[in-house]
Structure 1
């Protein structure tokens, strides 16, 4: 008798380049059917940052609109072979409606979530909402894919059993750059930042720290400018003392920014808060060390793993300056180290590895007596 396929339905806001490699690789398995249901097109902001909606080959992509009956999709797919994985709880109205309907329909349900920003009054209210969601929905949720160390801690805090919380990650494309150039002696230490000009990204801390490195040879390119913030970027650039060393650049398409990462000695993401920080994974894929704010989800990669870079704590301009001085004095990254970082990334955070881990999670969920799988990117 032919065995029926397992069906996995991922409900989220948009079709993102940060999950595309995972979906493509997962869809290669003949015994698994993958569906992606989205409620929004790629935002204008993401498009201005150089993003494009990825093609997903064998993944079934559906868009929630007036012509799409998502209720019918759930009604027809609620047996034991179907798992519905929702992006957050209450994060996106259309997705949350589907989540509540799936709960009422006795579907198998999982959650995929970054941490919530708990700063300030809004953070206090989000925390209360987290407890409420636990009270109402815990009994329906089989497992939680927690993105970053803080997400895992938040779900534990709200009361979810830690046996249903598993570490999760965004997946990036493997490096397509094969030629690694030799380090040129006498060239400046290259620092790269890729991100927005929002305060929570910590760009202001970075610029202040860089501007105090007066007697050190470096070049810092901050890829952060688009049509919507060009006036703000001009004001910032004009306020910088070391204009020849610290340069605010236009966003590039993903393949071009990956090339810049591959030629840099350090990527820095000094975010005050960041659910993950995908550029950290991308830099590691290119063999470039990283420096990450402790409130970034991707800081979990660096815990007990100094080879990859370091975590900035406390997150102040003085601390960033001190850590940058150390890195620059250590010197440019060697070809050998770049190769070793690329190999680490391929063996620990590539789509192939993450899909293997995900399949182990599914086995664990179906057989609670099996041991909970350890995330391959977390060094014990």
Structure 2
């Protein structure tokens, strides 16, 4: 069996899955336009495959190199593309693959449908795209618990839809114990990791924290990441310095190799996004044994719910978020044993487990029985 991943860059969201899939004696190739981008490089997304990697990496830097690659013996491979619209490089490559009649699989996240007008327009666009390309697509890997039903309502045959996730490297494989951390061990520690954007709900999270005396007195809130709201949040934090002491900390961008350290030293990750296709930081937190509070608009909300020690609130219901933060605070720091149990359960989100699941999907697609014995997601 051959599998070819088509991506714009080498991303940890797919890289470790590809590596684990290759370790199952599956012929895996990773095709990308670039190794990384400047903004991702700052975050530590500079993945250099080892010389012993079981995955072949192929950078496409010209039309000639693309044509040469397509002329190689790859006609029997499954070609896995990220998304169906928006990226010119992947769209062009996909059109070339379609011309050759190769088997295509689309991996995609839930679209952002918060704007009512744009939501209607997007729905019509997607319906047209899916109707016109269904005959060319072998399967859809739907990232996000709501996406399978949404795809089915937008002209995608249910038999082609497989619920999926971003499967990540186990923290034990990349934890750097010497990573710096200014997180206090005395107070309960809430952590946010991601871009400081309005749609991520970070301003609402900040307001909730600073306006509640119990959160201010008995916990700390740490932001990892950068974005347009950082200066505003830091300015508000500075004005309230006498009231909140040093319990709100902005770390800025942190190298990707240090994230597991912060995760494992937090008591609860909060992801209050108004929309998040999946929310890979939820997977990272659970794999570190850290409970999460996540918005229902995040694709990983189902996983958070099933993890038992985590919580989900209805998107934009900020009083409910406050209630859950207080509940986690008053419950207190979970025991080492509970963290180990959560980490053990969360292995269903690891790259190794994801590779086994993807391999079972591919075998199912090759079989004559498409309806019966469909592989179930490893977290269910």
Same fold (TM over 0.5): yes
**Does residue 25 of structure 1 match 2:20?**
yes
- Determine if contact 1:191/1:264 at 8 Å carries over to the other structure: yes
- Determine if contact 2:176/2:258 at 8 Å carries over to the other structure: no
**Does residue 358 of structure 1 match 2:350?**
no
Q: Deviations over 1:27-70 (max 9, x none)?
A: 1233x211111124423322333433342622122222226532
> How has the CA–CA distance of structure 1 residues 287 and 64 changed in structure 2, closer, same or farther, with 3 Å as cutoff?
same
Query: Corresponding residue for 1:220?
Result: 221
| 1:340-359 paired onto structure 2 within 5 Å | 340-346=341-347, 348-359=348-359
> How has the CA–CA distance of structure 1 residues 29 and 196 changed in structure 2, closer, same or farther, with 3 Å as cutoff?
same
Provide the C-alpha distance between the structure 2 equivalents of 1:229 and 1:60, rounded to a whole number of angstroms. Answer: 40
| 1:37-56 paired onto structure 2 within 5 Å | 37-55=31-49
Query: Corresponding residue for 1:3?
Result: none
Query: Corresponding residue for 1:197?
Result: 196
| 1:203-282 paired onto structure 2 within 5 Å | 203-216=202-215, 217-225=218-226, 231-240=231-240, 242-282=244-284
| 1:249-328 paired onto structure 2 within 5 Å | 249-303=251-305, 305=306, 307-328=308-329
> How has the CA–CA distance of structure 1 residues 90 and 77 changed in structure 2, closer, same or farther, with 3 Å as cutoff?
farther
Structure 2's unaligned 5+ residue stretches are 178-184
Note the C-alpha offset of 1:144. 0.6
Deviates more, 1:273-282 or 1:253-262: 253-262
- Determine if contact 2:44/2:257 at 8 Å carries over to the other structure: no
Runs of 4+ in structure 1 displaced over 6 angstroms? none
User: Which structure features the higher share of helix residues?
Assistant: 2
TM-score by length of 2: 0.89
Provide the C-alpha distance between the structure 1 equivalents of 2:40 and 2:213, rounded to a whole number of angstroms. Answer: 34
Query: Corresponding residue for 1:182?
Result: none
Deviates more, 1:133-142 or 1:90-99: 90-99
Deviates more, 1:237-246 or 1:154-163: 237-246
- Determine if contact 1:267/1:288 at 8 Å carries over to the other structure: yes
Provide the C-alpha distance between the structure 2 equivalents of 1:360 and 1:223, rounded to a whole number of angstroms. Answer: 36
Q: How many residues align?
A: 362
**Does residue 160 of structure 1 match 2:156?**
yes
- Determine if contact 1:237/1:248 at 8 Å carries over to the other structure: no
> How has the CA–CA distance of structure 1 residues 68 and 309 changed in structure 2, closer, same or farther, with 3 Å as cutoff?
farther
Counterpart selection for 2:378 from 371, 376, 379: 376
TM-score by length of 1: 0.89
Instruction: Name the SS for the 1:215 alignment partner.
Output: helix
> How has the CA–CA distance of structure 1 residues 306 and 201 changed in structure 2, closer, same or farther, with 3 Å as cutoff?
same
Deviates more, 1:234-243 or 1:60-69: 234-243
